[in-house]
Amino acid sequence: MIIREATEDDNQALLELSRQTPMESGLSIFVDRSPDYFYLASLQGENHRVIVAERKGEIIGAIGFCYRKIRLFGREVKASYIGGMKVTEAGRRTTALYRIIRRIYKELMEEGVEIGMGSFLEGNEKARRIFEKGFNFPVFHPVAVIKILHIIPLWGKGRETCDISIAESSDLDELGGLFHKFYKKYELIEDFSRERLESILERSKDFSLENFLLLRREGRIVAALSFWDQRNFKRTIIRRYGPGTKMLYYMLKPLKIFPPEGEPLNVVEIRHMVYEEGRFDDMKRLLSCFLRRIWPGYKVVKVGVDSRDPLLEVFKGLPKVETNLVFSVATAKPDPDLIDRLRSSLIWEDMTLH
C-alpha cells in the first residue's frame, strides 16, 4: 500500500471514490464535485491537500486537510480543517485510514498546529469511532451540532413587494463592517473584513456581489444574506431515501421538490446571514423575501446553523428536512477546559464549502 499526496491526475478516481462512499443519515447522499474534486475544498483554507491510500493502482481511501489562522478566545492560532474522509468497503479491512491519519498528524505537528477541526453526520457511527477513538493520535471531541436544513420554500411566485436590494461595490466597506461585527461572537473562525469579502468573491466561482441581498433602514444596511448556486461544480445526489424521508418524497411528489433516487436536488445554498444587533425581525423579513424571490427556480434551500445559535429561530415554522452534523475539535495537547469553553460557545463554519 502506498500513502501519498493526490494530484490532479487523481481527479476522476477521487470523484468515483465519493460516489462509492455516500453519507448516511435520514438521506443517503453523495456530493458530486464534478468536474473538479479539489475546487471546493481548496476554498476551506490555505495549502489544501488530499492524502490517499493506493493499493494495486486503486485509491481505497482519502482524507483532505488545509491550514487556517483562526480566532480562539481573543488570540490567533494556527489550525487545520480535516475533512473529506472517504474509504472503500475493501479499504475498511486494511490499515489505510490509520496510515493516512498518521501521515497528516505528523505534518500538522511539524507545522505547529494547535487545533484540528472536523465534522461528521450524526448517526454515522463509523466516522464517530474514527474521530473519537484516536488511534493513538489526539482525540476529536464534539463541541457543537450544526443543523443542516433543507428548506422547502412553498411560497409560490406571488407578487414581489420586498424592499431589498442587490449589493454593489460601493457597499463593500459597510458590508465588511457589518460582517466583522456580527461574526465576533463566533469562535474558531477568521475575522471578517472588506478585504476578506473581496477575497471570497474573487476565489468563488458563480458567486459575486449579485449574490448578496441587502435590507436597509434609514439608509444603512441592517441585514444581509448571500446565496450560492453551485450546480456547475457541486451537486447533491440522493442515493437512497430513509423511511421518514421516503414518505415525504411521495407526499410532495406532485410538486417535484425532491428528485427520484439517483438524481440531484434542485438546491441553492445560503452562505451568509448577518444582521445588526436588535434587527432580528429584519433578518426574518430578508429571509422571507429571499425565499419568495427564488421560488420556483429552486425547490430546496440549504443552510447550516449551530443548534444553539439564535439565528436558528428565523427558520422556525418553515417546511424543512433536518440533519445534524457533529463539529469536533482536537488539541495538540490535552486541554479539557478549552473543550468545555468551546462547548458553550457559538461555532460558525462555511457549510457551502462541504
pLDDT score of 90 more than 90? no
Q: What is the grid cell recorded at 164? A: 431589498
Our CA angle for 341, 344, 347, nearest 5°, is 95
CB-side neighbour CA atoms (13 Å) of 309 = 26
Highest mean pLDDT among 22-26, 85-89, 130-134, 305-309: 305-309
Q: Residues of the chain with pLDDT > 90: what percent?
A: 74
Compute the average pLDDT of residues 120-145.
Answer: 82
Per-residue pLDDT tens for 194-206?
A: 999 999 999 999 9
Q: Are strands 212-217 and 220-228 parallel, antiparallel or unpaired?
A: antiparallel
Instruction: Please check the confidence at residue 127 and state whether its pLDDT lies above 80.
Output: no
Backbone dihedral angles phi then psi of residue 236, each to the nearest 5 degrees: -95, 110
**Average model confidence (pLDDT) across the chain:** 92
pLDDT band at 247 (very low <50, low <70, confident <90, very high): confident
Buried-state track 80-102, b at ≥16 Cβ within 10 A, e below 16:
bbbbbbbbbeebeebebbebbbe
- Strand segments, DSSP code E, in the chain are 2-5, 23-24, 27-32, 46-55, 58-72, 75-87, 115-121, 141-151, 164-166, 186-187, 212-217, 220-228, 235-241, 267-275, 300-306, 320-331, 346-347
Q: What is the pLDDT of residue 155?
A: 60
Nearest to 286 by CA among 217, 348, 350: 217
Amino acid code (one letter) for 22? P
State mean pLDDT over 8-25.
Answer: 88
Indicate the pTM of the whole model: 0.92
Rounded to the nearest 10 degrees, how much is the dihedral formed by the CA atoms of 292, 293, 297, 303? -70
CATH topology match: 2-143+327-353 vs 151-323: yes
What's the CA gap between 285 and 329, in Å, rounded?
Answer: 35
Q: What is the pLDDT of residue 285?
A: 94
Q: Is the pLDDT at 22 greater than 80, yes or no?
A: no
Structural contact between residues 91 and 52, judged by C-beta atoms closer than 8 angstroms: no
Average pLDDT over residues 41-50: 96
Residue with cell 432580528: 280
CATH of region 151-323: 3.40.630.30
Q: How far is CA 74 from the centre of its chain?
A: 24
The reported pLDDT for the residue numbered 245 is 78
What is the mean predicted confidence (pLDDT) over 288-316? 94
Q: Where are the domains of the chain?
A: 2-143+327-353, 151-323
The CATH number of 2-143+327-353 is which of 3.30.1300.10, 3.40.630.10, 3.40.50.920, 3.40.630.30? 3.40.630.30
> For a pLDDT cut of 70, what percent of the chain falls above it?
96
Average of pLDDT values for 267-278? 97
What pLDDT was estimated at residue 35? Answer: 96
Say how far apart CA 142 and CA 140 lie, in whole Å: 7
